Amino acid sequence: MIDYLIVGSGIAGISFAEIALQNNKSILVFDNDSQNSSKIAGGIYNPVILKRFSEVWNAKQQIDFLNFFYPQIERRLDIKIDYKTPVLRKFFSVEEQNNWFVASDKPNLTPFLSTKILNKNYSGINAPFGFGEVMSTGYVDTNSLLQSYQHYLMENVLLIKSKFDYDQIEIKENCILYNQINAKHIIFAEGFGLHSNPYFNHLPLDGTKGELFIIKAANLNLDCILNSSVFILPIGNDLFKVGATYNWKDKTNATTEEGKQELLDRIHELLDCDFEIIEHFAGVRPTVRDRRPLVGSHHEHKNMYILNGLGTRGVMLGPSLAKALFETIENNIPLDTEIDIKRFNKRK
The string of pLDDT tens digits covering residues 150-192 is 999 999 999 999 999 999 999 998 899 999 999 999 999 999 8
Beta-sheet pairing, 181-188 with 304-308: parallel
> In whole angstroms, what is the distance from residue 323 CA to residue 343 CA?
20
What ranges do the domains of the chain cover? 2-41+143-204+289-345, 87-134+208-285
Residues sharing a CB contact under 8 Å with residue 236, sequence separation 6 or more, in sequence order: none
Interval 8-46: pLDDT, tens: 999 999 999 999 999 999 999 999 876 666 656 789 999
Handedness of CA 200, 309, 248, 37 (dihedral sign): negative
Confidence at residue 38, expressed as pLDDT on a 0 to 100 scale: 63
One-letter identity of residue 167: D
For 36-69, b/e burial (b = at least 16 CB within 10 A) is bbbbbbbbbbbbbebeebebbbbbeebbebbeeb
Report the alpha-carbon distance of residue 281 to residue 149 in Å, rounded: 22
For domain 87-134+208-285, the CATH superfamily is: D-Amino Acid Oxidase, subunit A, domain 2 (3.30.9.10)
Q: What is the pLDDT of residue 348?
A: 45
Q: What's phi and psi for 103, nearest 5 deg?
A: -65, -40
| pLDDT beneath 50: ranges in the chain | 347-348
Euclidean distance between CA atoms 14 and 30, whole angstroms:
11
Same fold: 2-41+143-204+289-345 with 87-134+208-285: no
DSSP-assigned states of every residue in 84-145:
E--EEEE--SHHHHHHHHHHHTSTTTTTTB-SS-B----TT---TT-EEEESS-EEE-HHHH
Structural domain 2-41+143-204+289-345, CATH architecture: 3-Layer(bba) Sandwich (3.50)
